[in-house]
Amino acid sequence: MSSFSLPVSTLGTPRIGPRRELKFALEGYWSGQIDADELLARAVALRAANWARQKALGITMIPSNDFSLYDQVLDTSVMVGAIPEIYGWSGGPVPLDTYFAMARGSQGHEPDPACAGHHHGPGQGVPALEMTKWFDTNYHYMVPEFTRGQRFMLASTKPLDEFREAKALGYHTRPVLLGPVSYLKLGKSKDPSLDPLSLLPALLPVYVEMLRKLAAQGADWVQIDEPCLVLDLDEQARQALRVAYGMFAYALPKLKLMLTTYFGGLGDNLDTALGLPVAGLHVDLARAPEQLDAVLAKAPNGLVLSLGVIDGRNIWRANLAKLLDRLEPVLARRGADHLQIAPSCSLLHVPIDLALETDLDPDLSNWLAFAAQKMDELATLGRALAGGRGVVAERIAESVLAASARATSPKVHDRAVASRAAAVTGEMARRASPFGDRHAVQRAILGLPSFPTTTIGSFPQTGAVRQARAAHAKGGLTAEAYDAFLRQETAAAIRWQEEIGLDVLVHGEFERNDMVQYFGEQLAGFAFTKSGWVQSYGSRYVRPPILFGDVSRPKPMTVDWWRYAQSCTAKPMKGMLTGPVTILNWSFVRDDVSRSAACRQIALAIRDEVQDLEKAGARMIQIDEAALREGLPLRRGEWGHYLDWAVESFRLCASGVRDETQIHTHMCYSEFNDIIDAIAAMDADVISIETSRSRMELLDAFVSDRYPNDIGPGVYDIHSPRVPAVAEMTALLEKATERLSAGQVWVNPDCGLKTRTWDEVRPALVNMVAAARQLRAMFAEAAE
Ligand code: GLN
Ligand code: ZN
């Protein structure tokens, strides 16, 4: 067999450094410990290491401009000069501190992605841009903000600078740009009548200028990402793509563009994508393997196809033989000149190097691939395609062996779990009686006042709490001492809730590191990494749990804590659990069973916990589904299926209790209009939601005829250090009663209080209780 080489790319790599070097550099700079030169020098070193790693592992199409100090969308805004006036930029190079002001506000008040959105207390300098989720990932980008008559100009030459930086080190790279249509579609305007796509004609010349500069420096290929091509697009967006790429082809006939799509299939946008005058098209074959046939059938002969066969969103090792079975016929059909091998999307979304995980179970470890391992897989595929399977026979055999071990391992497959999941009946996902009947029983037993007050679960995670946890983890604090400390904190928090007159209490969650990790660590089927960090936003990284096997609950997880907490008070103490959909959505999940099947297993484990809490005497159990909405598929047509199984999973975990037991749920976001029927179908007795920032407007979705159950619309914005006044919360509650019936309304903050300090929480909750009392008085008078 003749030997040729097949281009192998990564589309982008993690930028944070294997030991979180970027985080420490940024935080050092923000706190004044290092200066800008030092920060930039460390960034240079990280990029150099990234390029070297890719080269060493056999990547031939190495990207540049995939690095970012904070976020690639923010970088794009800066590149095109889309810098809102408040940041005080008036042309010329954009100062580093202007960039960081856009990212974090001028006094570093970063938004909180757990409850993503725009917020900013008064008198705190300049606010950050709004931040939101990047498609359906857990990465968050800074939302571009446009004005009517927005002007664009090339304000940063970052793509060019990094291309040259790589060139000086001997790497001929393929620069990455976020495409103009996706960029505009990701943006917003305060002026709702301004359609960002209308700005395209103003934006395109800036892109052309950048592409020209890159071509002049010797770039032959540029990767241009248009992930919007996997979304539902209207004709206007498709036309925008035709205009943009028509212009690029006209202005730069020799420059080859790799139009890159990811996070799903092209679907009904396939013809649009294939009609664009570009040299190459990248398709995601991990999320949408089925699109390969359609792409092959329709792709013009001259088009270079980049096949995203290695999953860039998950951490599983590939079965190389299986992939080669698919790729070899494509190679035969299209020829080596028209084929490239790639991950499905940038490797930004996976941890960097499995080699750092020295404590993982060796079997599990053998089934995993992080970014470095995925690069190696890609290079191996490239070699096998170019030189025949024989040249990498051993590597292929190892991957097949790992796949078959995983497919049959008892660590993954638990017969008891499978048969239990198969035996689930519709009845198990239904409460015994309808809400109206339950409501009456619960009211009689619980004897709560109208407008009952409660909180969402967590209380401030103070320095003392975190220090004790760290000391315990490092062995400096014995289990007994740590436990005693936690009990003390819990008891004090309960005493204080009683003192200020809250009606339904929580234990404070001091024992929990994270609302998903806490449960994952106690469930069979989950594993945790030491260094498996993935960027969530800016310098914030997370280590998602790895859901690798059938899920079961070896023993109760929260019952002892609940029992202790309830023993401290005569008031009702809520049991506090994280729901199955949220646990699933914040984990790396199995690729050998469907998400819905995995979710059902988690639901059954949580169901056991719910029932054990009931048996222990809990009268109220809260099951948080903070991440239910963010699991919505990118395409509207797939929402129904997702919501069906997500709601069913919640109901399955919540429905194994008597009518007397009150099930609460909590969701910390504020868009419900489009999913209100699913929320209602969850049939929780009480739901608490975020509403304070939207001034109760979102309650329109909850008007009583569509949502009959009880609701706690948040009256206290926990994202801000500001203490809301009584009158403010009373006014919000009054507004709520205009939309809901008074008997439906609970009084609570928007979300958990763990990120606040006690000095903020104490007066705020005292005021909240006072506001509830005022409402009670008002409604009692009205009833007289
Ligand atoms: N019970 C959790 C808490 O209060 C809920 C957190 C969340 O919804 N993000 O912290
Ligand atoms: Zn919340």
CA distance 110 to 15: 20
**Choice among 91-105, 124-138, 298-312 with the minimum mean pLDDT:** 124-138
Residues 57-70 have a mean pLDDT of 98
Q: Specify the pLDDT at position 120.
A: 41
Ligand nearest to the CA of 664: 1
State if pTM tops 0.75.
Answer: yes
Q: Specify the pLDDT at position 640.
A: 98
Banded pLDDT at 130 (limits 50, 70, 90): very high
Query: Which residues form the pocket of ligand 1, taking CB atoms under 6 Å from any ligand atom?
Result: 114, 456-458, 509, 515, 576, 624, 626, 666, 668, 751-752, 754
Q: Specify the pLDDT at position 620.
A: 98
In Å, how far from its chain's centre is CA 289?
23
CA distance 281 to 300: 11
Ligand nearest to the CA of 114: 1
Q: Is 129 helix (H, G, I), strand (E, B) or coil?
A: coil
Checking if the pLDDT of 110 tops 60, the result is no
Banded pLDDT at 2 (limits 50, 70, 90): low
Q: Residue 125 C-alpha to ligand 1 middle, in angstroms?
A: 28
Q: Specify the pLDDT at position 671.
A: 83
Pairing between β-strand 188-189 and β-strand 221-225 as defined by DSSP bridges: unpaired
Question: For residue range 442-465, what is the model confidence (pLDDT) as tens digits?
Answer: 999 999 999 999 999 999 999 999
Under the phi-then-psi rule, with left for phi > 0, alpha for psi from -120 to 50, and beta for the rest, what region is 680? alpha
Give the closest residue (by CA) to ligand 1 atom 1: 457
Question: For residue range 682-720, what is the model confidence (pLDDT) as tens digits?
Answer: 999 999 999 887 888 778 888 766 889 999 999 999 988
Question: For residue range 291-324, what is the model confidence (pLDDT) as tens digits?
Answer: 999 999 999 999 999 999 999 999 999 999 999 9
**pLDDT > 70 fraction of the chain, expressed in percent and rounded:** 97
User: Which ligand 1 atom lies nearest to the CA of residue 512?
Assistant: 10
Do the beta carbons of residue 331 and residue 380 sit within 8 Å?
no
Residues 22-29 have a mean pLDDT of 98
Across-strand partners of 576? 622
Q: Specify the pLDDT at position 589.
A: 98
Q: Residue 764 C-alpha to ligand 1 middle, in angstroms?
A: 18
458, 518, 581, 755, best to mutate for ligand 1 pocket (most atoms within 8 Å of CB): 458
Instruction: Go through the domains of the chain in sequence order and give each one's CATH number.
Output: 439-783 (3.20.20.210)
Q: Residue 544 C-alpha to ligand 1 middle, in angstroms?
A: 17
Give the closest residue (by CA) to ligand 1 atom 10: 752
Question: For residue range 514-550, what is the model confidence (pLDDT) as tens digits?
Answer: 999 999 999 999 999 999 999 999 999 999 999 999 9
SS3 per-residue string spanning 445-509: HHCCCCCCECCCCECCCCHHHHHHHHHHHHCCCCHHHHHHHHHHHHHHHHHHHHHHCCCCECCEC
Sequential DSSP letters for 151-174: -------HHHHHHHHHHHTT---E
Residues 100-126 have a mean pLDDT of 61
Q: Specify the pLDDT at position 704.
A: 62
Q: Residue 513 C-alpha to ligand 2 middle, in angstroms?
A: 15
Ligand nearest to the CA of 506: 1
Question: For residue range 209-239, what is the model confidence (pLDDT) as tens digits?
Answer: 999 999 999 999 999 999 999 999 999 999 9
Q: What angle do CA 310, 551, 479 make, to 5 degrees?
A: 110
Q: Specify the pLDDT at position 530.
A: 95
Residues 262-297, buried b or exposed e (16+ Cβ, 10 A)? bbbbbbebbebbbebebbbbbbbbbbbeebbebbee
CA distance 141 to 130: 8
User: What tokens were used for 261?
Assistant: 């799509």
Banded pLDDT at 123 (limits 50, 70, 90): very low
Banded pLDDT at 118 (limits 50, 70, 90): very low
Q: Specify the pLDDT at position 669.
A: 75
Question: For residue range 606-651, what is the model confidence (pLDDT) as tens digits?
Answer: 999 999 999 999 999 999 999 999 999 999 999 999 999 999 999 9
506, 558, 666, 716, best to mutate for ligand 1 pocket (most atoms within 8 Å of CB): 666
Checking if the pLDDT of 410 tops 90, the result is yes
Q: Specify the pLDDT at position 112.
A: 52
Report the 10 Å Cβ neighbour count for 427.
8
Residues annotated as catalytic are 719
Q: Specify the pLDDT at position 117.
A: 41
Q: Residue 754 C-alpha to ligand 1 middle, in angstroms?
A: 8
Question: For residue range 715-743, what is the model confidence (pLDDT) as tens digits?
Answer: 999 988 899 999 999 999 999 999 899 99
Element (H, E) at 686: strand 686-689
DSSP 573: B
Checking if the pLDDT of 250 tops 80, the result is yes
Q: Provide the mean pLDDT of the chain.
A: 95
Give the closest residue (by CA) to ligand 1 atom 7: 626
